[in-house]
Structure 1
């Protein structure tokens, strides 16, 4: 038997998307910097060292005396010699006054005057040990430093930002459709 039929055939719509991607550019220029460091204020005060060398005793040991010192010694030696001579003459006079006591004071005095004192010789150091006196005061250094702060200048630069937004556009690739077909229809 032939049954009438209605045939429906449908197609869905097909959409296509056209996408343009967004573009973003971002850059950061470096900051402009200026840095200066002033020199520190520096003051240096130096008190020089003092070296004192006294070689008076060493010079006296090698008989290089000053005129004043030689005069003082000569005067002192003359005074001592005068005292010794005075003592010797007084002693000799006392011996001669007692000539009657016996002995031969004139001969003994003549013998003592003709012979000098015995000579002495010994090893010695010229100049004598520690005859040069040395004194030293070390130098003094005073340092005063005053630091200076650095001078820093900074100019900040804003970032560069470029943005192009993206686009999406839709297009119909295939339209929707509905086809209706009748089969076995008799009129």
Structure 2
């Protein structure tokens, strides 16, 4: 006996596929950053130096004196000269009085005249330093300077920007060229 045979024949599907690739773009913008550097705080405190110069002795050595001191000096010199003049006249009067009766009338007057008006010896000559050494007195008190610096920290502001992500998904479109089939035949 013969058994029927089944013959199965298949036809595969044929497709024409159009594939659009996906597109992805990622950008990272730079961070937004600002930096400020405040100026340092600078404080300077100074005290002035004091310079005192006393040149009054040097001015006196040069003959430059004030009007009050000058008039006082001239008054004292006048007083001393008048006292010397009175002493000289008293001395001359005593000489005349003591020698008047001794017949020396003219000789006494000649001697007195020679004493007052004869050649006088000048004083010794020497070098004199004007103004005298050390006559200018200088006193200096130095000033001070205090410097205080306070540094300021920089101010940094940073903002991180998010990445920009652009994505276009891919797309697949297809056209069927051949449909799938299954043919079954019974051979008998």
> Residues of 1 paired with 2:101 and 2:154: CA distance?
111
Deviation digits for residues 29-79 of structure 1 (CA, Å, limit 9, x no counterpart): 986654433222222233333333333333333333333332122111111
109, 112, 116: which one aligns with 1:113: 116
Aligned residue for 1:144, secondary structure, equals: strand
Compared CA separation, residues 101 and 131, structure 1 to 2 (3 A): farther
Q: Where do residues 146-157 of structure 1 align in structure 2 (5 Å cutoff)?
A: 146-155=150-159
> Residues of 2 paired with 1:136 and 1:116: CA distance?
52
Matched positions, count: 137
Residue 145 of structure 1: aligned partner:
149
Please state if 1:71 is matched with 2:74: no
> Residues of 2 paired with 1:105 and 1:94: CA distance?
11
Residue 132 of structure 2: aligned partner:
128
Q: Deviation at 1:154?
A: 4.4
Compared CA separation, residues 34 and 81, structure 1 to 2 (3 A): same
Deviation digits for residues 83-129 of structure 1 (CA, Å, limit 9, x no counterpart): 22233233333333433797965443221101264212222223332
Root-mean-square deviation (CA, aligned residues, Å) is 3.9
Deviation digits for residues 162-186 of structure 1 (CA, Å, limit 9, x no counterpart): xxxxxxxxxxxxxxxxxxxxxxxxx
Q: Where do residues 12-31 of structure 1 align in structure 2 (5 Å cutoff)?
A: none
Aligned residue for 2:149, secondary structure, equals: strand
Residue 84 of structure 1: aligned partner:
84
* TM superposition score normalised by structure 1: 0.52
Q: Where do residues 157-176 of structure 1 align in structure 2 (5 Å cutoff)?
A: none
> Residues of 2 paired with 1:116 and 1:40: CA distance?
85
> Residues of 2 paired with 1:101 and 1:128: CA distance?
55
> Residues of 2 paired with 1:116 and 1:139: CA distance?
61
Aligned residue for 1:98, secondary structure, equals: helix
Aligned residue for 1:135, secondary structure, equals: strand
